[in-house]
Amino acid sequence: MPAYLIISLSILIAAAALVCAVFLIVRGHSDDLARAESDLASLALTLQERTDAVFRSIENVLRDIVGKIPQASLKADEFEAFAGSKATKSLLAEAAQSLPQIIRINLINTRGRVAGSSIPGPISNSVYLRDTSYYRALSTDPSLLLYLSEPIKIEATGKRVLSLARKINDADGNFLGIIAATIDQHSLEKIYLDHLRTHSMAITLYRRDGIILAHSPADAKALGRKVWLPNTPLQRMIAKNTPTLIRDVSWLDARERLIALHPLANYPSGIAVSRTVAELMAGRRFEARVVRFMAFFIDVMIDAASLLGIKQVRTGLLRAASESYLSRHDMLTKLPNRQFFVDELKRTFQASQKSSSNFALHLLDLAKFKDINDNHGHAAGDEIVKAVARRLRERLRKSDFISRIGGDEFAIIQRPIKGQQQAVDLVRAVQAALKVPCTVANTEIEVGISIGVALSSPSIKTSNEIMRSADIALYEAKSDPDNAYRLYDASMKDSRAERRELEGALKSALDSKEFELFYQPILDLATNQIWGCEALVRWKHPTKGMVSPQNFIPAAEDSGLIGPLGDWVLEEACSTAMTWTLPLKVAVNLSPVQFKRRDVFASVTKALNASGLPAHRLVLELTESVKLTEEATATLKQLKALGVSISLDDFGTGYASMSYLRSFPFDKIKIDQSFVRGMLGSADSSAIIKATISLANDLKMSTTAEGVETEEQLNALRLAGATQAQGYLIAKPMPREAFAAFMTETQGSYKASENVHPLA
Ligand code: C2E
Ligand code: CA
Ligand code: CA
């Protein structure tokens, strides 16, 4: 066999081996990380309990001693005598010996002098502990009873100690002195040392303010140091004082660590247990080394080949390799890209059909990613994408496949799976992975994620179909921020297709005159006369019948149809109002999109001019979703100047109803039906109604209560002082002819008992 053939063959074999090795690795890690997280958290809990118990037993010893001080000695001079007595010394010595962690116990007087001690021999008169942090804290802060001090090194013995100090008060509650136990810090570190399981693991006992009290493995420079800088994620997590997991670059070794924090139950401190992320990922590093070795091997072979003059082998192979890598990967995250994913999905689909094994397709979409880019910049956005990619990858098994298929979109092929539960478990793991905020340039950014999942099944015939199913599920998930994942099932409608169909039908509806206005009377409560009505749009769909505005206004807003539709509503309402015998008012609803996209002032004046309706008979209703920009406010002011009234609709249902009221002088507040519905049963609703009415009175605005369905509600509203009422009790919305007939029959007045149109 010629040499070049042998070498080419070897290169091919090596390349194949490399491909296999890469195949083994690219596909993420198993559930190791999840296991590591829960191990760390449970270790932090265990050590928290152990440490808390140690402190508690020491505190009990101190308490026992205080309990033994005779009442008479609970006065300044007697206390000194008591503290200095032989009997007390033996009491203290005995107590100090009762626990191995206690080195000594001191009694300290109000001036900071050691008045009694467990250590043998007499105490010199001049030992003052005024400079200790516990003396300073307990002698100055009247509300403080217990103090856990930072560690110090005793020069004489070289021992590191902490103090747990308790305040002693006299019979009248005045500061009498302090009892302090000196604790051997090593006794605490020994507990932690026994629990160090891997070489990167570190266990820290920290005080709430960030000072390190004990640390294993022993690290002299750590002790007493204040490590959590203010305003860092770690410091904020500690301030929350709840058990938590965090990933952060550690003060210990400037490496990224997974840290489980658990506060002590009874003392202002906590336990942090951490491991480096690198160690957690070590298994993969080994795999990576194998790949590197294989690549090196291939390189050597290629060199050999080129020495033999087979240049094309080298250049061809390398160029092909790099081009294929670049075209199939996303450079930011190094994950496979959409093209790679599509191919892989096809392959997975075919394989699953052959082997009748199942897989799940997860499509993931970061919530509000645009906001992150807008608020924190694109560099931060990139960092977030990378962090998310890393966290996702860590949650996967080796056999799974992950890719970045769009700016903020990822796809995971989970394969194989035994059943639906396994897919749900992965969703939960992904959600948990993103629960911890991402830290970018020292800012914590919360990342939300929507997930749509589709499972392979005999009814799905192509890989495109499973993609579409997952996409439909994702779309559903996105519309529900609370439960941000959906599992596709055949009954799930493709709301996007429905929406497109609806928008299409809407476009022709205006030309085909399928819209109609209904009118709902509004009653003036002072005069009991009909004051006017609200025009409400209806869609007489040729096949679906009467469609409610709630079902098509949003689509009209999205498709832009709201502009011409809104104009039509205005013109129709104004010209209808001109046909009434009484000069009733007519209220028209305006959508926020009309304000954004349309010259509302021009539309209104056009409708008024065309119909001849005096401006003072037109009322415009807008909700808080209309952004009161300078431009919108100017338009509203212009309209008001014309004589048109402006009502604030659905009051109380938005986020900032109060501040909204301040931004424009509305003529009227419409109290939302939800409050009226609840007013007789719930004290809250009734209070809100009363408060709204009195607020409106103060602001010289009138009020219309919406959704009035019973006489009881009407009476209660009258009593509360509402100006007007609207609702099924007075009449339902009705076509223009029916409204004219209603006005003739009732003569424009409302009488409860003879009401002819209670539910017209
Ligand atoms: P809205 O402005 O709050 O209108 C009041 C809604 O409450 C109407 O629903 C009305 O039929 C209903 N309603 C009135 N009295 C009662 C009652 O006693 N009990 C109950 N349960 N409901 C009552 P509708 O007609 O389905 O309109 C729904 C929403 O669609 C309106 O809420 C409004 O936001 C919007 N809308 C209606 N017409 C138009 C329009 O021409 N343009 C725009 N932009 N939006 C419109
Ligand atoms: Ca309204
Ligand atoms: Ca309303």
Same domain, 534 and 651: yes
- Atom 34 in ligand 1: residue holding the nearest Cα: 589
Q: For residues 114 and 135, give the distance between their C-alpha atoms in angstroms, rounded to a whole number.
A: 11
For residue 231, give the CATH number of its domain: 3.30.450.20
d(CA 102, CA 516): 87
Whether residue 213 sits in one domain with residue 69: no
Contact 745, 756 (CB under 8 A): yes
Please give the Cα distance from 179 to 92 (Å, whole number): 10
pLDDT tens by residue, 547-605: 899 989 988 998 889 999 999 999 999 999 999 999 999 999 999 999 887 789 999 99
Predicted local distance difference test score (pLDDT) of residue 760: 40
Ligand 1 centroid, distance to 127 Cα (angstroms): 82
Q: How far apart are CA 458 and CA 409, in angstroms?
A: 27
Residue to mutate, 536, 590, 648, ligand 1, most ligand atoms under 8 Å from C-beta: 536
Could you tell me the distance, in angstroms and rounded to a whole number, from the CA of residue 536 to the centre of ligand 1? 6
More confident residue, 276 or 481: 276
Compute, in angstroms, the gap from residue 589 CA to the centroid of ligand 1: 9
Residues 728 and 702 in one domain: yes
Alpha carbon 185 to chain centroid, angstroms: 40
Give buried/exposed letters for 659-692 (b at 16+ CB in 10 A, else e). Answer: ebbeebebebbbbbbebbbebeeeeebbebbbeb
Residue 433 C-alpha from the chain's centroid? 13
The pLDDT score that the predictor gives to residue 608 is 97
Ligand 1 atom with the shortest distance to the CA of 708 = 18
Q: Which ligand is nearest to the CA of 539?
A: 1
Same domain, residue pair 377 and 469 = yes
Last residue of some domain: 152, 184, 216? 184
Greater pLDDT, 517 or 300: 517
- Choose which residue among 576, 620, 621, 706 to substitute to test ligand 1 binding: the one with the highest number of ligand atoms within 8 A of its C-beta: 706
Supply the pLDDT for residue 558: 83
User: Is residue 171 domain-shared with residue 226, that is, in the same domain?
Assistant: no
Distances (CA, A) of 701 to 271, 589, 725: 59, 18, 15
128 vs 100: CA distance, rounded Å: 26
Distance between Cα 757 and ligand 1 center (Å): 19
- Indicate if the alpha-carbon torsion angle 250, 252, 255, 260 is positive or negative: negative
Q: Is 507 a domain residue?
A: no
Residue 221 lies in a domain: yes
536 lines ligand 1 (CB under 6 A): yes
Atom 15 of ligand 1, nearest CA residue: 727
Residue 500 lies in a domain: no
Q: Which residues pair with 414 in a beta bridge?
A: 360
CB 565 within 8 A of CB 555: no
* Tens of pLDDT, residues 170-215: 877 788 899 999 999 889 999 999 888 888 999 999 888 888 899 9
Residue 506 falls inside a structural domain: no
- Considering the domain architecture, whether residues 395 and 372 belong to the same structural domain is answered as yes
Q: Whose CA is nearest to atom 12 of ligand 1?
A: 707
Sheet strands (E) in 188-322: 202-207, 212-216, 244-249, 256-263, 269-276
Calculate mean pLDDT across residues 726-745.
96
Question: In this structure, is residue 759 part of a structural domain?
Answer: no
State whether the beta carbon of 520 lies less than 6 angstroms from ligand 1: yes
Say if residue 293's pLDDT is above 80.
no
Task: Specify the higher pLDDT residue, 434 or 577.
Answer: 577
Same domain, 141 and 264: no
Examine the pLDDT at 20 and tell me if it is beyond 60.
no
DSSP conformation class of 382:
H
Lookup: tokens for 637:
């002011």
Q: Which residues lie near ion ligand 3 (Cβ < 5 Å)?
A: 649-650, 706
pLDDT above 80: residue 697 = yes
Q: What is the dihedral of CA 126, 130, 135, 137, to 10 degrees?
A: 170
- Would you state the structure tokens that stand for residue 755, as one six-digit string? 């009401």
Q: Tell me, using a 6 A CB cutoff, whether residue 548 lines ligand 1.
A: yes
The CATH number linked to 657 is: 3.20.20.450
- pLDDT band at 268; cut points 50, 70, 90: confident
- Most confidently predicted of 78-82, 320-324, 728-732: 728-732
Whether the upstream peptide bond of residue 416 has omega within 30° of 0, thus cis, is: yes
**How far does the centroid of ligand 2 lie from the alpha carbon of residue 523, in Å?**
15
Ligand 1 atom closest to 562 (CA) = 44
pTM value?
0.52
How many structural domains compose the chain?
5
Which ligand has its closest atom nearest to the C-alpha of 620? 2
* Mean predicted confidence (pLDDT) in 221-246: 73
Which amino acid residue places its CA nearest to atom 38 of ligand 1? 536
Q: Which residue has the higher pLDDT, 248 or 110?
A: 110
Residue 259 CB less than 6 A away from ligand 1 = no
Residue 412, H or E segment: strand 409-417
Averaged pLDDT score across all residues of the chain: 86
Which of 589, 708, 710 for mutating ligand 1's site (highest number of atoms within 8 Å of CB)? 589
With residue 735 as reference, give the H or E element that holds it. Answer: strand 734-735
CA angle 652, 653, 655 (to 5 degrees): 90
Domain match, 162 and 252 both: no
- CB of 554 closer than 6 angstroms to any ligand 1 atom: no
What is the side-by-side strand order in the sheet with 244-249?
212-216, 202-207, 269-276, 256-263, 244-249
Ligand 1 within 6 A of CB of 569? yes
pLDDT at 323 over 70: no
Ligand 1 pocket, residue 549 CB under 6 Å: yes
Helix H, strand E, coil C: the string for 140-184 is HCCCCCEEECCCEECCCCCCEEEEEEEEEECCCCCEEEEEEEEEE
Q: Shortest CA distance to 26 belongs to which of 260, 201, 288, 281? A: 288
Q: How many residues does the chain have?
A: 760
371 with 471, same domain: the answer is yes
Residue 81 phi/psi, 5-degree rounding, is -65, -45
Would the pLDDT of 310 be above 60? no
Q: Please work out whether the CB of residue 382 comes within 6 Å of at least one atom of ligand 1.
A: no
601 lines ligand 1 (CB under 6 A): no
Tokens 């009491």 correspond to 91
User: Which carries the bigger pLDDT value, residue 498 or residue 612?
Assistant: 612
Instruction: Give the highest mean pLDDT range of 38-47, 475-484, 681-690.
Output: 681-690
* Nearest Cα residue to atom 46 of ligand 1: 589
Nearest protein Cα to ligand 1, atom 35:
549
pLDDT in tens, 86-138: 889 999 999 999 999 999 999 998 889 998 999 888 777 778 888 888 999 99
The secondary structure element, H or E, covering residue 405 is strand 401-406
Task: Pick the residue whose CA is nearest to atom 19 on ligand 1.
Answer: 707
> Which pLDDT band, with edges at 50, 70 and 90, does 758 fall under?
very low
- Give 589 Cα–ligand 2 centroid separation in angstroms: 5
Does 714 lie in the same domain as 566?
yes
Give the separation between CA 360 and CA 363, rounded to whole angstroms. 10
Q: Whose CA is nearest to atom 7 of ligand 1?
A: 707
Q: CA torsion angle for 685, 689, 694, 695 (degrees, to 10)?
A: 90
Q: Which residue has the tokens 């005024």?
A: 130
What values do phi and psi take at 493, rounded to 5?
A: -80, 150
Query: 733 CB less than 6 Å from ligand 1?
Result: yes
Task: Pick the atom of ligand 1 nearest to 670's CA.
Answer: 3
Across 199-208, 444-453, 639-648, which has the greatest mean pLDDT?
639-648
Is the beta carbon of 517 within 6 A of some atom in ligand 1? no
**Ligand 3 centre and the CA of 702: distance in Å?**
15
92 and 235 fall within a common domain: no
Decide if 261 is inside a domain: yes
Quick check: helix, strand or coil at residue 532?
strand
Ligand 2 center–CA 302 separation, angstroms: 77
Give the residue, by CA position, lying nearest to ligand 1 atom 20: 707
Place of tokens 């009309």: 594
pLDDT-based confidence at residue 297 (cuts at 50, 70, 90) = low
Q: Whose CA is nearest to atom 41 of ligand 1?
A: 537
Nearest to residue 635, comparing CAs of 668, 597, 662, 578?
597
Q: Is 571 in the pocket of ligand 1 (CB under 6 A)?
A: no
Say if ligand 1 is within 6 A of residue 537 CB.
yes
Token couple for 143: 């509300």
CA distance 252 to 97: 35
Contact 453, 362 (CB under 8 A): yes
- Asked if 689 and 724 count as a contact pair (C-beta separation under 8 A), the reply is no
Q: Which atom of ligand 1 is nearest to the CA of 591?
A: 44
CATH number, position 342: 3.30.70.270
142 and 90 in a single domain? The answer is yes
Asked whether residue 751 is assigned to any structural domain, the reply reads: no
Residue closest via CA to ligand 1's atom 23 equals: 707
User: Which candidate, 220, 225, 208, 145, places its Cα nearest to that of 179?
Assistant: 145
Tell me 329's DSSP state. Answer: B
Is the model more confident about 720 or about 276? 720
| Residue 46 binned pLDDT confidence (cut-offs 50, 70, 90) | confident
CA–CA separation, 498 and 488 (whole Å): 17
CB 117 within 8 A of CB 84: no
Report residue 531 as tokens. 């004051």
Q: Is pLDDT of 484 > 90? A: no
373 within some domain: yes
Confidence of residue 709 (pLDDT cuts 50, 70, 90): very high
**Cis upstream peptide for 521 (omega within 30°):** no
What gap in Å lies between CA 334 and CA 22, rounded to an integer? 13
CA of 623, closest atom in ligand 1: 34
Query: Is 759 a residue whose pLDDT tops 60?
Result: no
- Ligand 1 site, residue 728, Cβ cutoff 6 A: yes
Q: Which domain holds residue 18?
A: 3-31+295-328
How many angstroms is it from 548 CA to the middle of ligand 1?
9
Alpha carbon distances (Å) from 760 to 24, 517, 731: 72, 16, 6
pLDDT of 295 reads: 59
* Ligand 1 neighbour 591 (Cβ under 6 A): yes
> Cα(663) to centroid of ligand 2, in Å?
20
What confidence tier does 82 reach under pLDDT thresholds 50, 70, 90?
confident
Cβ of residue 649 lying under 6 Å from some atom of ligand 1: yes
Tokens of 116: 């009694």
